[in-house]
Amino acid sequence: MDPVSGLGAVRGVIAQACERAGRDPGTVTLVAVSKTVGTGPIEAVLGAGQRVFGENRVQEAKGKWPPLVGSHPGTELHLIGALQTNKVRDAVGLFDVIHSVDRPGLCEALATQCQRLGRSPRLFVQVNTGAEPQKAGVGPQQADTFLAACRDGYGLAISGLMCVPPAGEPAGPHFSLLRDIAERNGLRCLSMGMSADYAEAIHHGATHVRVGTAIFGARPKP
Ligand SMILES: *Cc1c(COP(=O)(O)O)cnc(C)c1O
């Protein structure tokens, strides 16, 4: 499937899921995940009007996106992968939204670089809803304390929460857990749902769905 057809199909599924959930489609942002994808397919999708893209590696995005952003005004870049402290400066310079805030050291580096560069990307805290040891994100039990520390300790405004549910488990309970944490902390944005489950995520209140494979096709195995 070519990426423009993939994009059209995903837009259709989003519209349908919104209708079923009684939600305004304008409340759901499609983040087209373009990690590992070359500039050809990305330009095709830009040509079809898509302007919000997700990347998981700072280096890759830095090599690929500046000319594309320059030629397509209104393009918004989202960092959806883990962020190392030594890449924070580049990330703050390049990305409009960072979905993977998950530790105090990263908060400190973000606060410093945002001030230095005079930029303030919107920030999401990643929650490890399945408490998986190998996965990034703050534990669901630590989320409230961490969110308070972001605000009061580092002066960072947090827009919402992000999660990647455990593979091979129903995602629904993880989506509702993330929603509960957001609600009790007064956060409006929920970044949840990928190619396999974005319709379900919309049912649970997702405001940002991160979809790669369903648009660009399967990625090469790492
Ligand atoms: C790769 C990735 C996605 C997109 O996954 P697909 O299954 O290809 O839609 C979404 N979120 C994160 C954090 C990712 O790393």
- Give the pLDDT of residue 220: 86
Q: CB 81: neighbour CB atoms within 10 A?
A: 18
What distance in angstroms lies between residue 72's CA and the mean position of ligand 1's atoms?
23
Q: Which residues have C-beta atoms less than 6 Å from ligand 1?
A: 33, 35, 56, 80-81, 164, 194-195, 210-214
What predicted TM-score, i.e. pTM, was given to this entire model?
0.98
**Residue 127 has which token pair?**
């929650």
> Cα(172)–Cα(199) distance, rounded to whole angstroms?
11
Q: What does the pLDDT look like over 28-62, one tens digit per residue?
A: 999 999 999 999 999 999 999 999 999 999 999 99
Nearest-CA residue for ligand 1 atom 7 is 195
Pocket-testing residue among 7, 33, 57, 125, ligand 1, by greatest number of atoms within 8 A of Cβ: 33
- Give the pLDDT of residue 149: 98
Pocket-testing residue among 30, 80, 198, ligand 1, by greatest number of atoms within 8 A of Cβ: 80
- Give the pLDDT of residue 72: 97
> Cα(52)–Cα(33) distance, rounded to whole angstroms?
9
Residue ranges of E strands in the chain: 29-33, 52-55, 76-79, 97-101, 122-126, 158-162, 189-191, 208-211
- Atom of ligand 1 minimally distant from the CA of 196: 7
Q: CB 59: neighbour CB atoms within 10 A?
A: 10
Average pLDDT for 54-73: 97
What distance in angstroms lies between residue 173's CA and the mean position of ligand 1's atoms?
19
